[in-house]
């Protein structure tokens, strides 16, 4: 009986996947803060900057689940990861369109990098990893692991960016008591 190449990655995906799940909950806290502060903002702004963060965390959880499942070969996970990569790239371009259409906030260079460029690079890496999984599982799994970790860091950065934006915006608004 030969060992699956995924076995060596089990602990990694337990850590990354559970972190993504916990951080998804953090985004719900962020949305609650927005609602409690009664800040003016549009659904377009949330669609461009808030929702993608949850999507990135959920994709990390999905990749961890795909690579932790008891597959009997490499074709199934390669196909699933390829779908995740393509879907992420399409979603990344949709997020760019949403960022351009919203008018409540003017994104700066850092926003474009963290909200659009790096996620697209991560999803492209997931697709590349999927394409190489059957030929070179060892390299492909490092690519997938790096892409998942990058999405996790992107989500952490973007959640923190949202919280600091809210704090700064809230501190400049006079409180009515």
Pairwise CA distance, residues 146 & 101, whole Å: 31
User: What's the pLDDT at 64?
Assistant: 93
Specify whether the CB–CB gap between 98 and 47 falls below 8 A.
Answer: yes
Domain boundaries, the chain: 7-163
Give the alpha-carbon dihedral of 66, 71, 74, 78, to 10 degrees. Answer: -20
Q: Which is more confidently placed, 30 or 94?
A: 94
Instruction: Tell me the average pLDDT of the chain.
Output: 88
Cα angle 85, 88, 90 (rounded to 5 degrees) comes to 110
Pairwise CA distance, residues 36 & 134, whole Å: 49
User: What's the pLDDT at 23?
Assistant: 84
User: What's the pLDDT at 39?
Assistant: 61
pLDDT in tens, 159-169: 888 888 877 77
pLDDT (average), residues 40-65: 86
pLDDT in tens, 99-158: 999 988 899 999 999 999 999 999 999 999 999 999 999 999 999 999 999 999 999 999
User: What's the pLDDT at 24?
Assistant: 83
Question: Considering the entire predicted model, what is its pTM?
Answer: 0.86
User: What's the pLDDT at 130?
Assistant: 98
């Amino acid at each position: 009986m030969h060992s699956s190449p995924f076995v060596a990655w089990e602990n990694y995906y337990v850590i990354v996947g559970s972190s993504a799940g916990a951080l998804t909950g953090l985004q719900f806290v962020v949305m609650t803060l927005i609602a409690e502060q009664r800040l003016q903002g549009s659904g377009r702004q949330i669609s461009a900057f808030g929702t993608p963060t949850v999507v990135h965390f959920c994709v990390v959880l999905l990749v961890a689940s795909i690579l932790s499942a008891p597959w009997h070969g490499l074709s199934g996970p390669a196909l699933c990861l390829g779908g995740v990569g393509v879907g992420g790239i399409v979603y990344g371009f949709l997020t760019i369109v949403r960022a351009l259409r919203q008018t409540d906030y003017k994104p700066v260079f850092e926003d474009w990098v963290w909200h659009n460029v790096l996620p697209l690079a991560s999803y492209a890496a997931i697709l590349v990893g999927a394409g190489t999984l059957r030929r070179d599982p060892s390299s492909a799994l490092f690519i997938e692991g790096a892409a998942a970790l990058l999405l996790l860091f992107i989500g952490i950065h973007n959640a923190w960016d949202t919280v600091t934006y809210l704090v700064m915006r809230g501190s400049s608004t006079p409180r009515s008591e």
